[in-house]
Amino acid sequence: MKHRIVVLGAGYAGAFAAGNLARRLSPADTEITVVNAVPDFVERMRLHQLAIGQDVAFRKLADVFAGTGVRLRLARVTGVDPERRTVAVTGEDGDGELAYDTLLYALGSSVAHHGVPGVAEYAFDVTGLSSALRLRERLAGLGEGGTVLVVGEGLTGIETATEFAESRPDLSVALAARGELGAWLSPKARRHLRQAFDRLGITVHEHTGIEAVEPTRAIAADGTSIPADVTVWSAGFAVHPIAAASGLEVAETGQIVVDRTMRSVSHPDVYAAGDCAYATGENGRPLPMSCASAGLTNMQATAAIIARLTGSEVPTTGLKYYGNHISLGRRDAIFQMVDGDVRSKSWYLGGRTAARLKSGVLKGAGSGIAHPTFGMPKRKRRLATAPDRVGVRVAA
């Protein structure tokens, strides 16, 4: 019986990983299945563009994996049983169960409400396709002079606020930051960011924590009322509680605790990649939830899976950040270089050149997803031993 590899999630981490596994492993020995809740590959880094009304086309996963040998199961994951090595799913065909020999958990993250009253009921976000489409519909119905408040001064908040202000100059856009806007940037990059906000007419409420969201306003910690016909919540990410409920060892964040090769420290048949992996970078700190982390962790996870199944030495791939790339609308951006401790260096790139670079990064990621087995070797690697019903356990 073939060795069954199941990949949960087809975002940046899961889709790339599935393609890499199909590219390297022989279909004579392995069977790769990807489980995803929606039929499209959703480019999360473009969801703020979709929300403001821009034309953003997403690729169908059926087309992405056509001819690769990867099986696609459109369903929502409802549970994982690492002792029985099964995954519970539900979809159009009803409830079901998938058995695996190796599991790659890449279900990503969603918006973190932090227990703030009113966020779940009244706020919008751009962390998923359905939520971005809901926001798109709301913004389309918002007339001239409508107020939009973006909560959160991280990369998502900055990109959302600037995109909205540039695309809809008829709206009044504001951003609420717990600290100083762009505090982590170098002085020159911070100045560039502030100039962009001034140019786009974005109001910034610094040192302002939001403690409640209502239908037409947000309430700050000091009691200040900030008008908001639409509140967009971008104050962090949270993972689904499925991993914690499954019995896998997780961190306080709910992320799966993994070793240097992205292998679960509690269950060796399980690997994690992307936002749901609690992985330590080369600087000794946990990797942040980001698209960059998805790339780093999925490359390490797939390299480890392939090596262990084929009896090879497990390689270690880089887990180091080189910089933050922040879009400021379609014609401006900031690329900030960082050091080994993820502290901003003095050098940065800004303006149209940085915007073109960011556009190239997005197109490159999309192209990689569209051709998951590009450069497929003529001879794929066979497993170290013949797979059986209980799975291959070699080179552990």
Contact 257, 268 (CB under 8 A): no
Q: How far is CA 176 from CA 197, 212, 219, 299, in A?
A: 13, 13, 11, 35
Question: Token pair of 122, please?
Answer: 């009244």
Q: How many other C-beta atoms are found inside a 10 Å radius of the C-beta of residue 347?
A: 12
Residue 379 pLDDT: 59
Question: Token pair of 352, please?
Answer: 């149209």
Residue 340 pLDDT: 77
Residue 322 pLDDT: 81
- Average pLDDT along the chain, 396 residues, taken 10 residues at a time: 96 92 92 96 94 93 92 97 97 92 96 96 96 98 97 96 98 97 95 98 98 98 97 95 96 97 98 96 88 90 96 90 90 91 88 93 79 63 60 36
Residue 392 pLDDT: 36
Which contiguous run of DSSP H or E holds residue 161? helix 155-167
Residue 377 pLDDT: 59
Q: Is the pTM of this model over 0.85?
A: yes
Residue 390 pLDDT: 35
Crossing angle for the helix pair 12-24 and 291-310, to the nearest 10 degrees: 30
User: Which residue, among 143, 128, 11, 5, has the nearest Cα to 64 in the 3D structure?
Assistant: 11
Residue 387 pLDDT: 44
Q: How far is CA 20 from CA 199, 356, 372, in A?
A: 43, 27, 7
CA–CA distance, 5 with 100 (Å, rounded to integer): 6
